[in-house]
Structure 1
Amino acid sequence: MPGQVGAIANEREGLLAYLAQMRHVIRLTAYGLTPEQLRAAPTASELTVGGLIKHCSSTEENWIDTVRREPRELDYQAYADNFALRDDETIEDVFANYDRVAARTERTIAEIADLGQDVPVDHSVPWNPKDLDNWSVRWVLLHLIQETARHAGHADIIREALDGGTAYPIMAAAEGWPESPWIKPWKPAAGQPA
């Protein structure tokens, strides 16, 4: 996938393309990392690359459940747990789940005639406005883009703290871009697996 979203024909296509791009960008932060690095928290927070990717997948799944009016009962511990890549989980497991979630999102949005369709506001969490009863599907897609982009930025910082890798050089390495005056693809440090 290129570093930029291509031409778009309409709002729906644009929203889904930007969401797909943000999914791609956050996934790239895991490129070339070891299982230990995926679970490492090298910054002031407890956030990890693997945990952030898992969280974005879970968040998207929860929002699409809400759009489909199939919301799950959320509790604080379940919310907190989706920020951690457990020892029995691999990044391949997380990516496979994210792929399923993304495909479900695409199917769900394709089935909705009007992006202005009401989506109920969950008043059980403290960050949602109490004076609003409904979002729109359009708002949910914009929120998923925002949320995924925010966490991709967090993952970028964590990744840079782990091995110095930054977004475009990692993208260049993952996608096989040739070295140029503009970009030098990331390479693992000596002794680190590729």
Structure 2
Amino acid sequence: MPRVVPPVTDERTALTAYLAHQRRALRVTAYGLTEEQARMAASPSELSIGGLIKHAARCEGFWTDLILQRGGTQRETDESDTDEFQLAPDETLAEVLAAHAAAAERTDAVISSIPDLGQAVPVPQGAPWIPAEVKEWSIRWVLLHLIQETARHGGHADVIREGIDGATFDPLLAAAEAWPDPWVRPWEPAPPSVG
């Protein structure tokens, strides 16, 4: 994945390219983590990298279900729903990464099948973070919301990862993508401590 989104030629390509880029940026924060590290909260909150990836997958599933008008199978959570942002004891990092990839693939397939980004998407009512007067959003709005959500939680994951082992985005990306670029030294795990 390039460090920046490649040039785009139209709105649909721009929205889907930026969403794909933000997804990859979130996923790269998990590169090289152990199961224990994927569960770590490196701040006073309960957020973990594994939990953030799990939440991003569920968020995409929720909005894709709304686009397909299959409401009720999932719900979008707010920041106070801490179980959404943590790995359960029986969940693994590999499982949430696979769920995230599957949710992304499903979203991409649904979006590619819709010719009009202005198509209405019904808005679930009753959540305090959704304005009561809003009854529908567009596919365009949903894509922008997914980009915003993914980028926001990618930022959380960046901070958490740096707190875990000092790793930052560019070296992680260089390691994950095996960049030959001499300008970025790829991340390497710290040698095991002796004693």
TM exceeding 0.5? yes
Change in Cα spacing, 1:64 to 1:75, as seen in structure 2 (3 Å) is closer
- Once the two structures are superposed, residues 128-158 of structure 1 have per-residue CA deviations (whole angstroms, 9 ceiling, x without a partner) of 1111111110000000000000000000000
1:11 aligns with 2:16: no
Displacement after TM superposition at 1:80 (Å): 4.0
Displacement after TM superposition at 1:189 (Å): 1.1
Corresponding residue number in structure 1 for 2:90: 88
Superposition TM-score, scaled by structure 2 size: 0.92
1:69 aligns with 2:77: no
Secondary structure of the 1:132 match is coil
8 Å Cα contact 1:178/1:185 also seen in 2: no
Write the letter of the residue equivalent to 1:72.
Answer: G
1:138 aligns with 2:140: yes
Q: Percent of aligned pairs with the same residue?
A: 50
1:56 aligns with 2:56: yes
Instruction: Kindly report which structure 2 residues correspond to 1:40-189, keeping only aligned pairs within 5 A, or say none.
Output: 40-72=40-72, 74=75, 80-178=82-180, 180=182, 182-189=183-190
8 Å Cα contact 2:42/2:163 also seen in 1: yes
Q: Where does structure 2 lack aligned partners over 5 or more consecutive residues?
A: none
Secondary structure of the 2:70 match is coil
Displacement after TM superposition at 1:81 (Å): 2.6
Change in Cα spacing, 1:165 to 1:44, as seen in structure 2 (3 Å) is same
Displacement after TM superposition at 1:9 (Å): 2.2
- Once the two structures are superposed, residues 106-137 of structure 1 have per-residue CA deviations (whole angstroms, 9 ceiling, x without a partner) of 11111112101111122221101111111110
Q: Let me know the Cα RMSD of the aligned residues.
A: 1.7
CA distance in 2, matches of 1:24, 1:56: 12
CA distance in 2, matches of 1:4, 1:65: 29
8 Å Cα contact 1:179/1:185 also seen in 2: no
| Matched residues, number | 190
- Once the two structures are superposed, residues 53-80 of structure 1 have per-residue CA deviations (whole angstroms, 9 ceiling, x without a partner) of 1000100110110111101253879x54
Q: Which runs of 4+ in 1 moved over 3 A?
A: 73-77
8 Å Cα contact 2:126/2:132 also seen in 1: no
Displacement after TM superposition at 1:178 (Å): 3.1
Displacement after TM superposition at 1:179 (Å): 5.6
Displacement after TM superposition at 1:82 (Å): 2.3
Instruction: Kindly report which structure 2 residues correspond to 1:24-39, keeping only aligned pairs within 5 A, or say none.
Output: 24-39=24-39
Change in Cα spacing, 1:8 to 1:75, as seen in structure 2 (3 Å) is closer
CA distance in 2, matches of 1:154, 1:100: 22
